Structure 1
Amino acid sequence: MPLTSHRHPYLWPETFGDALQATVFSALVWALAATLLYFLAPGLGSFPRVLMFSECVGITMVACVLALRRSQRLARLRPMTRWVVTGLIAIPTGFIAGHQIAFLLLGEPMQMVGNQRISLSPIIFTVLVGGLGLYYYATREQLAKEAAARSEAQRLAIESQLRLLRAQLDPHMLFNTLANLRSLIREDVDRAESMIDQLIVYLRSALAASQTEAVALSREFAQLRAYLDIMSLRMGPRLNFRLDLPAGLADTLVPPMLLQPLVENAIKHGLEPKVGAGSIEVAASLTDSGIEIRVSDSGLGLPADEQGAADIAARPAGTSYGLQHVRDRLHAVYGSAAQLSLERRVPSGVCAVIRIPR
């Protein structure tokens, strides 16, 4: 799972692209303000002159706001107080400094608003437009904070759900194995000792997997091999298995203990009830859309009323603990981007197919 980085909203915008976007947006807003001011307050000069003053005021104000937003002293204030202080500094600074810059660019003598007397119209327009702009950015910052809080809460909820699902799976496997071991002790002590050794290896691997949110496919396959070794000791020649993991996919991260429920399901419902030997094959491969993992068995196969490529989502929730568990894990981590389906095998058996994005 990728690590998340925490950005400080009070430093907005943080990148050059964000600053450029804010400047361009401000330029458009102040051009509109210049147009309104030109028609509503005649006597300020030609439209290009009014536009020059308006743009210089707006860009100067934006520069002032960007500088103030990086002040650590302001960052310690409450959000609303921070924006009010920013406005009280940026609006007068933008108005006065912006006018002086416009006079300099136009080659005119520097004065307050371009006339011998002070005009209130530019001042009122500057306060209104600057105040609305700051209110827009304050609202945007608040919405970004709320969205970040919702995202973090959703991430924590998913992590809690995954921990719960793993906690449900571990005892399920352990109880089954201990029940099998109890029967084997009476029949074959040597095989029972070998099973205990394999169980220790498996539990160590499972403990390591329980302490992380994602494991490499190589570790997932190693844990699966330990589990199948245990089942091979119990079932003897009735169980053969093969694991196929390409080297290029060994480091791919997946939810821990994702494949074991499918293997358990194949043994419990496919191979154990079947008379004679059977096999399980787990193979991973890279496809155009992501990674495909197939868990195939030569067991009894799907019931007669099941479709040949049944979508697990369409099956009743209580049909199989293993299938339901995998479906929940995939949904919690990948959402609708991952799929789990069943396919019939000829002449018998089932293939569970997991498709996940890479």
Structure 2
Amino acid sequence: MYLSSPPNAELWPDTLKGVLRAVAVATVFWALAATLLHLLSPGLDTWPRLLTFSECVGLTMVACVLLLRRTRAFSRFRPLTRWILTGVIAIPTGYFVGHQFAFLLLGEPLRMVGYLGVSLIPIIFTMLVGGLGLHSYATREQLAQEAAARSEAQRLAVESQLRLLRAQLEPHMLFNTLANLRSLLREDVDRAESMIDQLIVYLRSALAASQTESVALSREFAQLRAYLDIMALRMGPRLSFRLELPADLEATQVPPMLLQPLVENAIKHGLEPKVGSGSIEVVARAITAGIEIRINDSGLGLPADEEEEPAARPAGTSYGLQHVRDRLQAVYGPAARLSLERRQPNGVSAVVFIPI
């Protein structure tokens, strides 16, 4: 649902602008056809007259094709059968009806084509050019469908990776949390109860996210808050966090658990190995071309000799980051991106850009 409109939408326009674009392309195509016919058969007629007939025939044919493609009955046929029927109907209709339009434009009386003699050259030429145009449309439609199928396959592959990532992350987090709960029940019952409450919130949110393809950004942040509350109880004063989500971005739809791997990486590879306290903040803001979400940590940061690229980080980290990058590409296309930035004096910023 996030993917940009499939190529087929461009092929069969729904808007006035799209229809005008299709008419413009057809006008140029049939003008070239009229010029070619005039060069191949100079004694057939004058170029302006051939151009008039060619444009009328061509545009009538295009209108017929567009109307047929929107007929529900045609959707029941196989693609090859559909295109054969389209050609059988559109080419003769374009030829005979288009000639009548041309007679009107030229101020000539309407008459049956071939009334004063039949020339096979225009008929054969129209069939060839019309067939070439229909073949072009059919090829583009097939390519569009194949591209849509590839995009859907890519989306399904990314979602399968997400399920695998959940299967790896959630049990690991759950086991660690339960181990902490066991010790807390003996030492601090109030903290143990608070951790149980946050764990319930987190698991409910994770379950809901697993059953949908998109969630509101407010729900994504709520899940992050529950997770960070649990981690803060586990790490104690070593971890502080802040979440910032403007009200006008709360309803924005994003893939579920898009930010979770980035937050987990910041804690696991930045804050937990660090001696002393640290902080993490997740800040979303609207910018000119979309939404920017920063996950800032004050952890160990990137090694001095390491590039600021996801693939350059340790294996466990790069998998999570590459997974987020793949999901962004599959859902939003090449305009979306994930990048890493060094922070001063220490720490890393993982920056997610989502186009709108």
**Bin for the TM-score computed over the shorter chain:** 0.7 to 0.9
Calculate the TM-score normalised by the size of structure 2.
Answer: 0.80
Partner of 1:71: 71
Distance in 1 (alpha carbons) for counterparts of 2:110 and 2:238:
97
Task: Tell me: higher relative CO, structure 1 or 2? Use CA pairs within 8 A at least 6 residues apart.
Answer: 2
Matched, 1:92 2:89: no
What fraction of aligned residue pairs are identical, expressed as a percent? 63
Q: Which of the residues 304, 309, 312 maps onto 2:310?
A: 312
Partner of 1:296: 297
Letter aligned with residue 223 of structure 1: Q
Kindly state the Cα deviation for residue 6 of structure 1 after the two structures are TM-superposed: 8.0
CA contact (8 A) 1:161 1:332 kept: no
- After superposition, the C-alpha distances for 1:33-80 in whole angstroms (9 at most, x for unaligned) are 333333443543433223323322223322333333333223322222
Aligned CA distance change for structure 1 residues 264 and 180 (closer, same or farther; 3 Å): farther
Distance in 2 (alpha carbons) for counterparts of 1:176 and 1:328:
23
Aligned CA distance change for structure 1 residues 4 and 275 (closer, same or farther; 3 Å): closer
CA contact (8 A) 1:308 1:343 kept: no
Kindly state the Cα deviation for residue 273 of structure 1 after the two structures are TM-superposed: 5.8
CA contact (8 A) 2:214 2:256 kept: yes
Calculate the TM-score normalised by the size of structure 1.
Answer: 0.80
CA contact (8 A) 2:245 2:284 kept: yes
1:254-333 matches, cutoff 5 A:
254-261=254-261, 263-265=263-265, 278-286=277-285, 290-297=291-298, 301-302=300-301, 305-307=303-305, 310-318=308-316, 320=317, 324-333=319-328
Matched, 1:161 2:156: no
Superposed CA RMSD: 3.5
Matched, 1:357 2:351: no
5+ residue gaps, structure 2: none
CA contact (8 A) 2:7 2:144 kept: no
Distance in 2 (alpha carbons) for counterparts of 1:50 and 1:264:
70
SS for the counterpart of 2:315 is: coil
Rg larger in 1 or in 2?
A: 1
Distance in 2 (alpha carbons) for counterparts of 1:150 and 1:166:
24
CA contact (8 A) 2:263 2:295 kept: no
Kindly state the Cα deviation for residue 88 of structure 1 after the two structures are TM-superposed: 1.9
Kindly state the Cα deviation for residue 136 of structure 1 after the two structures are TM-superposed: 1.6
Partner of 2:338: 339
Distance in 2 (alpha carbons) for counterparts of 1:19 and 1:270:
54
Kindly state the Cα deviation for residue 171 of structure 1 after the two structures are TM-superposed: 1.0
1:204-283 matches, cutoff 5 A:
204-261=204-261, 263-265=263-265, 278-283=277-282
Distance in 2 (alpha carbons) for counterparts of 1:21 and 1:266:
49
- After superposition, the C-alpha distances for 1:163-201 in whole angstroms (9 at most, x for unaligned) are 222222111211111122223334344543443333223
CA contact (8 A) 1:342 1:352 kept: yes
- After superposition, the C-alpha distances for 1:222-281 in whole angstroms (9 at most, x for unaligned) are 3333334334444444544444444444444444445555555555556556666x2423
- After superposition, the C-alpha distances for 1:72-100 in whole angstroms (9 at most, x for unaligned) are 22332222222222222222222223333
